[in-house]
Amino acid sequence: MTNTWIVATLVAVVAGMVGFFVVVRRAAFAAHVLPLGAFPGAAAASLLGVSELAGIAVFCALGVLGISQLQRWERREVATALWLAVALALGTLFLSMTRQYSRGLYALLFGEVLGVSSRQLVPVAVLSAIAIATTAVLFRPLLLDSLSSELAAAAGAAGRRMELIFLSVLALSTAMALPVVGALMVFSLMVGPASAARLLTDRPRTAFALSVAFSLATVWGAIALSYLSDWPVGFFVGALGGLSYAAGRLRAGRARR
């Protein structure tokens, strides 16, 4: 239970931080597609008998390269959708080759937080430290580029490079969180709390801190509810994310009047 709590807390902090940038950059689709496109890596790893994390990392990296390459030809969301099609087509192929994977598939997509072993703890801790450090170092340039790409270009931060860096940070946090909370829940955790935080304040630093706090509350609440009810964690993460966004909307609407 302690392992679960530590890992879930790390995942929540990273998701809250990265989620803030997902929201200001309007990158919800990429935040959905990178994790979903990385699960074929896990299936391939089990096919080849290598470590699951290695497979996921390779597919995350391929996703970053694939999306940024396709963006040269297509607008952003079409490029993202095309990469999704490529990755999932490979995913179905790998799944059809390993018949026993149906149980593992559910865990990979929707997560199984209540079963974290101590051996999974170390890579998650290392990866989340890297993700937190990168986000902290890049906070100012990334924020500048997200808010006004023209201003950032004048200050010497090239837009395409920033997009690549942002996608890499997204991929890194995905690789870390995916084996623990599942491909679909990484996404819910990035979008729900951060979008609620943005509704409550216009100040970037406050929104950033609120986003991390909401994300922690969502994860802890979801684990507790899941433990009590025996229902999947993924359901509570999605529901709490939706609720916090709705609450934020309601509050923001009242403040405007």
Residues of this chain that bind another protein (CB under 8 A): 23, 26, 28-29, 31-32, 36, 73-75, 77-78, 80-82, 84-86, 88-90, 92-93, 95-97, 102, 105-106, 109-110, 184-185, 187-188, 191-192, 195, 198, 231-232, 234-239, 241-242, 245
Structure-token pair, residue 147: 């808010």
- Least separation in angstroms between residue 70's CB and another protein is 10
To another protein, the closest distance from the beta carbon of 248 in angstroms equals: 10
Question: For another protein, which is the closer residue by CB, 98 or 126?
Answer: 98
Q: What is the CA 37 to chain-centroid distance, rounded?
A: 12
Q: Is 169 helix (H, G, I), strand (E, B) or coil?
A: helix
Q: Are 46 and 52 in contact (CB under 8 A)?
A: yes
What's the closest the beta carbon of residue 18 comes to another protein, in angstroms?
A: 14
Nearer to another protein, 123 or 227 (CB): 227
Distance in Å, CB of 140 to another protein, minimum: 21
Considering the complex, state which of residue 55 and residue 192 has its C-beta at the smaller distance from another protein: 192
Nearer to another protein, 22 or 118 (CB): 22
Of residues 3 and 77, the one with the C-beta less far from another protein:
77
Of the candidates 64, 59, 60, 61, the residue with the CA atom closest to the CA atom of residue 90: 59
Sign of CA dihedral 102, 107, 112, 117: positive
Residue with tokens 């999306």: 67
> 135 or 146: whose CB is closer to another protein?
146
56 and 41 Cβ atoms separated by less than 8 Å: yes
Task: Give the separation between CA 186 and CA 128, rounded to whole angstroms.
Answer: 14
CA distance 243 to 239: 6
**Is the CB of residue 216 less than 8 Å from the CB of residue 60?**
no
**Minimum CB separation from another protein for residue 1, in Å?**
21
Q: How far is the CB of 255 from another protein (least distance, A)?
A: 16
